[in-house]
A and B are shown apart, each in its own frame.
Chain A
């Protein structure tokens, strides 16, 4: 394809070449990379933050109340200082320390809940698709039933009855509501794959069920599994934040949602204490944007028709 008079390639041609090269490996998708980078950034902030910043500043009364971030002034005329670079909340907690501890907590709940939910989903989806019959009926109907029940409402009942929960407990509770979509998705995929040539070929050549499941089917399911996983992380975090904003969820562990809850209750919006609710909101937004970018990237990985549009 080289031009005969050896002209140096124009910029557009170079870009085109780069695009083609990039698309050779669908996983090198810019959206995917950006999304993953945002989430890794949050995790890195949580890990590095604990070493370079004093995590004890998350305790109530560890600093002065309602100090503004550096470069701003609060209603009492106090200027922000480097002692609390992002300001403090109404209980004297350092906002920087709050997000260093709180943001990874929020991610942790989302990841743990969906990890459990996905495992249940993979197990049930494969069982339903493979075994068929009665098992399939029961799994299909229960997934159909559970998918219409909004998790938030059931969890509200649960947590208002039981009071305080731990982070892990909350993740476990949420996991009970994020297995349905993966189950349905995997069941549908397994059913259609069972009819495909390569699976029937494997069956005819005497491959074991586990070989067919994990060596033949699983690799084709990977983009779907990832997509489904990210979607349930989003659902889990939305549910967790929803509970926290209603004043439920863990009461003594700092989370982004709980910080927002306390800020709203203290009237931070009218008192112009924007850093108190605004910084946790911003971090949550970054988490959600990161998850969406990963999901869009995965869509393009599994559906090449979408790629030319970006």
Chain B
């Protein structure tokens, strides 16, 4: 334990800020390279609603002014970056006067809830199974069954989601097909609502858990092999400690730490996978918001959702980097 050296902190902080800034810039530049004009899309939407639009040139000019796309590029960019810092991404074009930030704030708790829940479950199960694969006292069945099950953990969660959805929601009808809670329940902190949320969230969470535990299990297996031959494990055995005690307190405790940094590298993929699971389950999170925005060509929402997800990823990596030395006192902060 100790203080975090300032140089290390500055280094990690720079990476964090650079990541967010570069991502925000890429997200801003790309639509501007495209020949598609958002004002024309908005006009097209109006025309589709009204049948025909008079004075279309004037309306286009007004729309461009509203969206701020008739200003100089540099000013637009500056306005965008300062806006993004306070989560102001403008107004949604599909749900017109609603600010993008409101839409995101409504979706974010669902995504974060599902993510944290499935992450904790996979982390525990994955590491435990990985450890059992190496432990020389685990039952033979476990040692044969886990590697066989691992083969299926290479498929992305969207495929497992489809399969689970078909079997448990469409065929057996044990679980609801889509949505995050029942439409007959009033949202609020009532027992019924919580029940409905858990019931609806079960399949999406399960489809993430069944395919991502393998990543942790594989990593844990490698780490446990390293720990297995260590002197302190031999000493613990020689002392006559109970094998189970040695497994949890000596082996897993020492092997598990690098897994936390592996998390930092994997989180981007995990979030992207979850976005897709939310899309197929029409779960009220960021994934559904993103998919609807793509359908409606709602650029402010697409930009906002992408930015927020990238921000979450970068922040998680930053936190893991900072917290890790506190968890593992053997690690000294290296100033690279």
Do the two chains bind? yes
Binding site for B on A (CB under 8 A): 140-141, 144-154, 156-158, 160-163, 234-235, 238-239, 241-242, 245-248, 260, 264, 269-270, 272, 274, 277-278, 281, 284-285, 288-289, 291-293, 303, 305-306, 309-310
Give the B interface residue count (CB, 8 A): 62
Distance in angstroms from A282 CB to nearest chain B CB is: 9
If A238-B272, A248-B294, A281-B163 are given as contacts, then 19 extra A-B residue pairs at C-beta distance below 8 Å, sorted by A number, are A141-B14, A145-B22, A148-B317, A149-B23, A152-B272, A152-B275, A153-B275, A154-B27, A154-B306, A161-B31, A163-B36, A242-B272, A245-B276, A269-B165, A281-B159, A289-B152, A303-B222, A309-B134, A309-B221
**Contact yes or no, A305 B225, CB < 8 A:** yes
Interface contact B31-A247, CB-CB below 8 Å: no
Whether B306 and A153, one on each chain, are in contact in the complex, defined by CB atoms closer than 8 angstroms, is yes
Residues of B within 8 A of A (CB): 14-15, 18-19, 22-23, 26-27, 30-31, 33-34, 36, 133-134, 147, 150-156, 158-159, 162-163, 165-166, 169-170, 177, 221-222, 225, 265, 268-269, 271-273, 275-276, 279-280, 290-291, 293-295, 297, 299, 302-303, 305-306, 309-310, 313-314, 317, 336
B3: min CB distance to chain A, Å: 23
* B302 contact set on A, CB distance < 8 A: 156-157, 160
B177 touches A269 (CB 8 A): yes
* Known A148-B317, A238-B273: A154·B156 in contact at CB below 8 Å: no
Nearest residue (CB) in A for B171 is A272
A281-B160 Cα distance, complex, nearest whole Å: 9
Compute how far the CA of A160 lies from the CA of B309 in the bound complex, rounded to whole angstroms: 17
Q: Of B134, B151, B163, B276, which one neighbours A242 at CB under 8 angstroms?
A: B276
Say whether A284 contacts B159, CB under 8 Å: yes
Dominant secondary structure of chain B at its interface with chain A: helix
Of all chain B residues, the one with the shortest Cβ separation from A154 is B26
Give me the 6 closest cross-chain CB pairs, A-B, nearest first.
A292-B154, A150-B268, A161-B34, A152-B272, A153-B306, A161-B31
Q: What are 29 pairs between A and B in contact, CB < 8 Å?
A: A141-B14, A145-B15, A147-B268, A149-B268, A150-B271, A150-B309, A151-B268, A151-B272, A153-B272, A154-B310, A156-B294, A158-B30, A234-B154, A238-B269, A239-B272, A242-B156, A245-B279, A246-B276, A246-B279, A248-B294, A269-B169, A270-B170, A274-B166, A281-B162, A288-B156, A288-B159, A289-B154, A292-B153, A306-B225
Tell me how far the C-beta of B152 lies from the nearest C-beta in chain A, rounded to whole angstroms.
7
A264: chain B residues at CB < 8 Å are 162, 280
A147 and B222 CA atoms in complex are apart in Å by 23
- B135 vs chain A, min Cβ distance (A): 11
Given contacts A245-B158, A284-B155, A289-B152, contact A161 B306 (CB under 8 A): no
A241 touches B156 (CB 8 A): yes
Q: Once the chains bind, are A247 and B154 in contact (CB under 8 Å)?
A: no
Neighbour of A285 across the interface among B155, B177, B293, CB < 8 A: B155
* CB neighbours of A153 from chain B (8 A): 272, 275, 305-306, 309-310
- Measured between C-beta atoms, what is the minimum distance from B88 to chain A in Å? 18
- Across the interface, A269 reaches (CB within 8 A) one of B133, B162, B313, B314, namely B162
Closest to B156 in A: A238
- The prevalent SS among residues of A at the interface is helix
> Which residues from chain A contact B269 at a C-beta distance below 8 Å?
150, 235, 238
Contacting pair B15 A141 (CB below 8 A): yes
* Contact assessment for A150 and B156 in the assembled complex, using a CB-CB cutoff below 8 Å: no
Closest partner residue, chain A, to B23 (CB atom): A149
- Note all chain A residues with C-beta closer than 8 A to B14: 141
A residues less than 8 Å from B133 (CB atoms) = 309
What CA separation (Å) do A292 and B31 show in the bound complex? Answer: 36
**Given A153-B272, A157-B31, A246-B291, A288 and B279 contact (CB-CB distance below 8 Å):** no
Name the A residues within 8 Å of B150 (CB-CB). 292
Chain A residue at minimal CB-CB distance from B287: A246
With a cutoff of 8 Å between Cβ atoms, the chain B residues found around residue A242 in the complex are: 156, 158, 272-273, 275-276
Measured between alpha carbons, how far is A158 from B169 in the docked complex, in Å?
34
Report how far A140 CA is from B335 CA in the complex, Å: 13
User: Bound complex: CA of A146 vs CA of B314, how far in Å?
Assistant: 10
Question: In the bound complex, do residue A148 and residue B294 qualify as a contact, i.e. CB atoms below 8 Å apart?
Answer: no
**CB nearest to B226 among chain A residues:** A305
Q: Which residues of B sit under 8 angstroms from A147, Cβ to Cβ? A: 265, 268
Residues of A within 8 A of B294 (CB): 156, 160, 246-248
A residues in contact with B271, CB < 8 Å: 150
Q: Point out the residues of chain A lying under 8 angstroms from B152, CB to CB.
A: 285, 289
B306: which A residues are within 8 A, CB to CB?
153-154, 156-157
Name the B residues within 8 Å of A148 (CB-CB).
19, 268, 310, 313-314, 317
Q: In angstroms, how far is the closest chain B Cβ from the Cβ of A249? A: 11
| Shortest Cβ gap from B319 to chain A (Å) | 12
CB B48 to nearest CB in A, in angstroms, measures 18
Given contacts A161-B34, A269-B177, A270-B177, contact A150 B280 (CB under 8 A): no
- Given the known interface contacts A161-B31, A161-B33, A277-B162, the answer about A150 and B15 at a Cβ–Cβ threshold of 8 Å is no
Q: How far is the CA of A129 from the CA of B31 in the complex (A)?
A: 36
| B276, A278: Cβ atoms closer than 8 Å | no
Bound-state Cα–Cα, A270 to B23, Å: 39
